[in-house]
Amino acid sequence: MLRRSLQRRRRHPVTAFSVFHRKHRAAAAAAVERQHAPCDRPRSVAQITADWWHALATDDKLPYHQMALRVDSIIIH
């Protein structure tokens, strides 16, 4: 039953970046809290996490790819 409800709500596959973003969103939000107006904050947080993601080496991204596959397999099956 729970899996069916998760499948209905699921809009797109879980990506490695989305796992990374969820994990580091709070740190990025703290970094931009004083620098930007409240209306610019979500965009700034996303930009900072994207910059951090692009700065990572391929080997450092591997755990996030593995987590994304695990989450996706739980939701699908």
Nearest residue to 29 (alpha-carbon basis) of 18, 19, 44:
44
Q: Give me the CATH number covering residue 15.
A: 1.10.30.10
Angle, helices 41-55 vs 16-32, to 10°: value is 120
Token pair recorded at residue 63 = 């755990």
Q: Could you give the residue ranges of the DSSP H alpha helices within 1-77?
A: 2-9, 16-32, 41-55, 58-76
Quick: pLDDT tens for 55-64: 999 999 999 9
Q: What is the pLDDT of residue 1?
A: 46
Q: How many domains does the chain have?
A: 1
List the domain range (segments joined by +) for residue 55. 2-76
The predicted structure's pLDDT at residue 43: 84
Interacting residues of 60 by C-beta distance below 8 A, sequence separation 6+: none
pTM value is: 0.71
